[in-house]
Amino acid sequence: MAKYLVIVESPAKVKTIKKFLGSNYQVAASNGHVRDLPKSSLGIDVEHDYEPKYITIRGKGDILANLRKEVRKAEKIYLATDPDREGEAISWHLLYALKLEEKQQGKKVYRITFNEITKNAVKESLKNAREINMNLVDAQQARRMLDRMVGYRISPLLWKKVKRGLSAGRVQSVALRIICDREEEIDAFIPEEYWSLDVNLDVKGEKSFVCAKYYGTVDEKRGISSKEEADAVMDSLKGAKYTVKEVKKSGRHKKPPLPFTTSTLQQEASRALNFSTQKTMRLAQQLYEGVDIKGEGTVGLITYLRTDSTRVSKEAEDMAAEFIAAKYGKKYLNNTAGERKNSQKIQDAHEAIRPTDLGRIPLEIKEQLPRDLFRLYQLIWKRFVASRMSAAEYEATSVKIQAADQIFMVSASTLKFDGFLNVYNPVDEEKEENTLTVGLGKESVLTFRSFDPKQHFTQPPAHYTEASLVRALEELGIGRPSTYAPTITTILARRYVVKEEKNLYVTELGEVVNHMMKEAFPSIVDVHFTASMEALLDSVEEGSVKWKTVVSNFYPDLDEAVQSAEKELAEVSIADEVSDEECDLCGRKMVIKYGPHGRFLACPGFPDCRNTKPYFEKIGVACPKCGKDIVLKKTKKGRKYYGCIDNPECDFMSWQKPSGQNCPRCGSPLLIKGNKLVCNDAQCGYHILSELSNKSV
């Protein structure tokens, strides 16, 4: 019989940890939280010191019953939930749900945490067992109760004033406001004209030319704001002599990136892999909990995925140094990597996200991982290795060319030592300018070939993407690593925001809700107020502020604002979008509605007519088989494809977007694939370059 019981959150960890610990240990899972506030009510006694009313979560009865059986058999119980506030709170709830807080049980209960699921980490955690940290628990309780108060008091108001199914949230409402504010900036933006002026110059004695950019006059740097100014500069240089007045060479270093935190992983996975924040977190959780590797069994490939810290343990530093020196050479090793300071203090007990073993090289285990899991693991692996490598070294060259009293510049750089770029190059890094292919010395005379003036207009701020929204939330101090993905998922699910390509756009519904929140609850959607609440929660974690003080100071103002809004806010009606589809039962034009699984068509005659049908977005192309509309569809696993709206009567489908054109050789439909039009008939093989885009609808 096992003497010791280890309780983890996820069943996926059970087998792996049991393998590490041996026969004296039984490992069981709680499947996340076992107690929570009730769904049917606020669950907080605002009249009696804001005491929370926790209940067992529906469906967790059997899990708790099995855990109680295991508890009775064990001498010691180790609560090994995740190493963050949420995990600490789950351990505390387990303590009470299993009645382990009662001293008469005679059981010894310990809290253990590990940052990675490896044999050494798990065994080391047992040597450093401790009591539950109530400051962490209280910080989580305060966050949970603040979120509950906002959601349960304001959401019913939105149902009453706008429509059912809406929700408000302490973080999600601020995220919506940030997106709405950006949309207002874009709408209010007035473009300003400016011009660039390049000059193409032949190099004497060389079969090449250089392209120099206009800099200004010999006295000052200046821009060109109109065609008239550009023409005036060009007219002033007719017959002018172009001479190199200055050549500067300098060395420059590009520092390696820091290892991933939760937010930077979400941002880079969005940019490099086109993953949503939700998908990134789901895949990272799998990599952390364990993946089957041939010859090793189930192993955790990365460290804990929810962290604000870029700190790395001494053991990991040593592992990286040994690996880099052996694989790339000692000159690639950055001996000062461990000295770079962490920019965040929150959750610094956790390391940055990194591989648990650099010896598991991504390409060597590629065949054992699903495609997306491999891509995310490779990104994390490369980023961590690069973070411990030397800086890239460049030789930068700047050439100043004078013609009359006007100055043109040529700038270029040459990579002298690739350093960390040997492994990793972030996708958002600015690309280095081309290397000068000719040698230019001071007083070199160049021959004029042509001017290249171009008109430009200043651009409005970019629409938020998931990656840039996560960055904004982090920079503003709103939310924490675990909240970014669910926040974005919620505002998309509520249809406050839609995602087209990577950009986030506010819907009419989102604008209405945001306006209502700003009018009735200005502090709730105030960026600085929300950031200050996060700081207060951090103070609770540090033990300097009592959690009930935070809650009791917050609720009365919220309650007053809700009561005022119920009286003063006007109801808003948002009409459903009418489609061109007729109801099969009554002939009315069906409307587009939103459900938990996306858009669908419904008869506006409800409740007299309850007809509904799936909604498919038309792409403006006729089916090559039957002539009806081609629509965008999804498989059960979410992969997009194009098919006939008259399916199953017409079976046309394609993974590539049909172009609406037919092959001139065989008559089959031409599909858009990258920058080509490709014949749907593989045996035909016809293809042609095209300007058509392969963007999904």
- The amino acid sitting at 191 is P
Residues in CB range of 120: below 8 A, 6 or more apart: none
Structure-block tokens of residue 559: 């309650």
**Rounded to whole angstroms, how far apart are CA atoms 385 and 661?**
48
> Looking at beta carbons, which pairs linking 263-267 to residues 24 or more positions away fall under 8 Å?
263/308, 263/470, 263/471, 263/473, 263/474, 263/481, 263/484, 265/305, 265/353, 265/379, 265/380, 266/466, 266/467, 266/470, 266/484, 266/485, 267/467, 267/468, 267/470, 267/471
Structure-block tokens of residue 173: 């409402």
Closest CA to 691 of 679, 680, 681, 677: 677
CB 660 within 8 A of CB 621: yes
Q: At what angle do helices 508-520 and 547-568 cross, to 10 degrees?
A: 110
**304 annotated active-site:** yes
Structure-block tokens of residue 116: 């990675």
DSSP for 433-472, please give it: PPPPSS---TT-EEEEEEEEEEEEE--PPPPPBHHHHHHH
CB 473 within 8 A of CB 479: yes
Residues in CB range of 554: below 8 A, 6 or more apart: 146, 149, 533
The alpha carbon of 502 is separated from its chain's Cα centroid by a whole number of angstroms, namely 11
Paired residues of 578 in beta bridges: 591
User: Pairing state of beta strands 669-673 and 657-662?
Assistant: antiparallel
**Rounded to whole angstroms, how far apart are CA atoms 248 and 440?**
11
- The amino acid sitting at 102 is E
Closest CA to 565 of 164, 155, 173, 40: 155
Closest CA to 674 of 647, 659, 649, 694: 694
Residues in CB range of 326: below 8 A, 6 or more apart: none
The alpha carbon of 29 is separated from its chain's Cα centroid by a whole number of angstroms, namely 29
**Rounded to whole angstroms, how far apart are CA atoms 85 and 616?**
42
CB 76 within 8 A of CB 3: yes
**Rounded to whole angstroms, how far apart are CA atoms 662 and 680?**
9
Q: How many residues are listed for the chain in this entry?
A: 697
Of the residues 4, 304, 394, 464, only one is catalytic, namely: 304
Burial string for 82-111 (b: 16+ CB within 10 Å, else e) reads: bbbbbbbbbbbbbbebbebeeeeeebebbb
Q: Which residues are catalytic?
A: 304
